[in-house]
Structure 1
Amino acid sequence: MTERASTNNTRLPSAVRDLATHLGVKPGHNRSTVTLTQTGRMKAKIDAKSWLAFTAEQSISTQTCAFDWRAQAGPFGVVSGRDALKDGEGRFDIMALGFIPIARAARSAALVRGELMRYLAELAWAPDAILKNTALRWREGGAGEILVGAGAGETAVEVVLSLDTEGRIAGAFAGDRPRSATAPFLPTPWRGRFSDYRRHEGRWLPFAGEVGWEIEGEEHLYWQARVERWGMN
């Protein structure tokens, strides 16, 4: 572990160090990227009645706020999607046949905010980032809650992580995640839940997750998935 990372760990709130311990994270591990595969279903629109099955591969950095999620859906994977955050820039594309654009988000602060919130919410799948990513800002919340933030200026965000009785991440909540990457951005309460925790490669990881928007007091689930494979390199 580098001197910088060691110094950062000593400055973390005790609740954050406890969270890392409960998840099985050990200081000194040198691997910096999580890779995982998922199967699941999602909705093309919030009010859609039907679900679209997908398979996905994702990489998540444990040292910087970065991830790359690539999915295929539809018959023979004819529709592909990419949701990513790299070098401080967000990306969201949907393509048909691999080269026909269906949707593509333009660069904006709202897009970066949304992708940063996703990264923070998915720390349950990249728990080593709790100790290794020095760009994260932590503070203790109410009972069973820890707040984690990242970004600066107009892209600064914060997500509330809720813990279960075992001290593991059970959910993530942001009160103002942009529901659209183009104006109007529609800041909307957004919530994710994790379940089916298993001991895997020395860590406690959730093998199931779901995400939804809260609109006018009603929750609208739009994404559900299971982790099929998880590793680090």
Structure 2
Amino acid sequence: MKTSFIVVVVAALAFLSITALGRWRWQGMTQGLVDRVEAGRTPMGTTRFDAVELDGLPPVVQRYFRTVLPEGTPIITGASVEHKGGFNMGEAGDNWKPFTSRQRVVMRRPGFVWDARIAMLPGLTVNVHDAYVEGEGILHPAILGLFSLMELRGTGEMAQGELMRFFAEAAWYPTALLPSQGVQWTGLDEHSATATMSDGPLTLSLTFTFSADGLIDVVRAEARGRTVGGQIVMRPWEGRWSNYQMRDGMRIPVTGEVAWLLPPEEGGRKPYWRGTIADLTYDFATTATGK
């Protein structure tokens, strides 16, 4: 009996040590990525929103900006976001697990680091880095932050997919969608428009659909790289944004769902991220140069 107790105690202490080591190692890796994103900052030419720059934009896009941005709103240069929600770990079916995450975002040069903790079992987490850093896309999940499940990095399809994520999430930092920030808008109909942005050699376009009250409802890409069995397969993809609230004078969505739009033989629409913003702070061009 005494021997069994000692074995349990030793095993528990070993697990706690591994967990602490993994947390320390992961935090260091996260900070390294964030430092790279921050080092890539470039000056913002415009510091405040001037409605004059909306002249010539499609009416549905003008309506959106007038709805979410008061005249004179400072241009957002960076943001720190905390999320909570569920992540679907099932590749074929559904296997939703709770997650919490922190995300650091810089608007120019565009980049972000998403640092998530997905609870697989009590006491067992998978840490995930999903990032766009200096033109490189990164996806790295690791059990307890120590044991890598995969590590994908690249400047081609991988980078394009991560830049799409940055672009689709810009509803959280709406000044990043202004023409003065390099976004070109083309109207499609009275409810939707195509937005195009570039970073280095990458240029991409997403379709934005707006609700009846003028807010971004759906953002869609016709082809984004989905990781299946360690390989990247191009599939349609969308983000749906809702529950708009006021943050620092701007209207932003605090709830979202992201899904792959798969063909029927692969299961059809497959949501894999559902989350809510738990906390959000901005850096503004008039008040901060970075952190």
- TM-score by length of structure 1 reads 0.87
- Return the match for 2:213 from 166, 170, 179: 166
Give the equivalent residue in structure 2 for 1:131: 178
Letter in 1 for 2:194: L
Q: Determine whether 1:113 maps to 2:156.
A: no
Determine the C-alpha separation between the residues in 1 that align with 2:179 and 2:279: 22
Task: Return the offset for 1:132.
Answer: 7.3
Determine the C-alpha separation between the residues in 2 that align with 1:162 and 1:3: 27
Summarize deviations over 1:62-120 as a string: whole Å, max 9, x none.
Answer: 33322221101124463110111122111111112223211110314110111111111
SS at match of 2:94: coil
Task: Return the offset for 1:161.
Answer: 0.8
Instruction: Give the greater-gyration-radius structure (CA).
Output: 2
Gaps spanning 5+ residues in structure 2: where? 1-43, 284-291
Q: Is the 8 Å Cα contact of residues 9 and 17 (structure 1) preserved in structure 2?
A: no
Q: Determine whether 1:2 maps to 2:45.
A: yes
Assess, with a 3 A threshold, how the Cα gap between structure 1 residues 207 and 77 changes in structure 2: closer, same or farther: farther
Determine the C-alpha separation between the residues in 1 that align with 2:70 and 2:224: 28
Assess, with a 3 A threshold, how the Cα gap between structure 1 residues 181 and 4 changes in structure 2: closer, same or farther: farther
Determine the C-alpha separation between the residues in 2 that align with 1:85 and 1:153: 13
Gaps spanning 5+ residues in structure 1: where? none
Determine the C-alpha separation between the residues in 2 that align with 1:183 and 1:98: 19
Q: Is the 8 Å Cα contact of residues 91 and 105 (structure 1) preserved in structure 2?
A: yes
Give the equivalent residue in structure 2 for 1:205: 252
Q: Determine whether 1:55 maps to 2:103.
A: no
Indicate the larger mover: 85-94 or 146-155. 146-155
Determine the C-alpha separation between the residues in 2 that align with 1:46 and 1:132: 38
Letter in 1 for 2:275: A
Q: Is the 8 Å Cα contact of residues 125 and 143 (structure 2) preserved in structure 1?
A: yes
Q: Determine whether 1:176 maps to 2:223.
A: yes
Task: Return the offset for 1:43.
Answer: 1.4
Q: Is the 8 Å Cα contact of residues 19 and 168 (structure 1) preserved in structure 2?
A: yes
Task: Return the offset for 1:61.
Answer: 2.5
Assess, with a 3 A threshold, how the Cα gap between structure 1 residues 104 and 26 changes in structure 2: closer, same or farther: farther
Question: In percent, how many aligned pairs have the same letter?
Answer: 22
SS at match of 1:156: strand
Determine the C-alpha separation between the residues in 1 that align with 2:82 and 2:167: 19
Note the 1:1-233 alignment, pairs <5 A.
2=45, 9=53, 13-15=57-59, 16-24=61-69, 26-27=71-72, 29-74=74-119, 75-76=122-123, 78-131=125-178, 134-151=181-198, 155-180=202-227, 185-217=232-264, 218-233=268-283
Letter in 1 for 2:161: G
Assess, with a 3 A threshold, how the Cα gap between structure 1 residues 124 and 3 changes in structure 2: closer, same or farther: closer
SS at match of 1:198: strand
Summarize deviations over 1:118-155 as a string: whole Å, max 9, x none.
Answer: 11111111112123763333222222112112237974
Summarize deviations over 1:155-190 as a string: whole Å, max 9, x none.
Answer: 432111111111111111111111138985321111
Assess, with a 3 A threshold, how the Cα gap between structure 1 residues 180 and 155 changes in structure 2: closer, same or farther: farther
Assess, with a 3 A threshold, how the Cα gap between structure 1 residues 184 and 50 changes in structure 2: closer, same or farther: closer
Total equivalences in the alignment? 233
Assess, with a 3 A threshold, how the Cα gap between structure 1 residues 154 and 186 changes in structure 2: closer, same or farther: farther
- TM-score by length of structure 2 reads 0.71
Structure 1 or 2: larger helix share?
Answer: 2
Q: Is the 8 Å Cα contact of residues 161 and 173 (structure 1) preserved in structure 2?
A: yes
Aligned Cα RMSD in Å? Answer: 2.9
Letter in 2 for 1:229: D
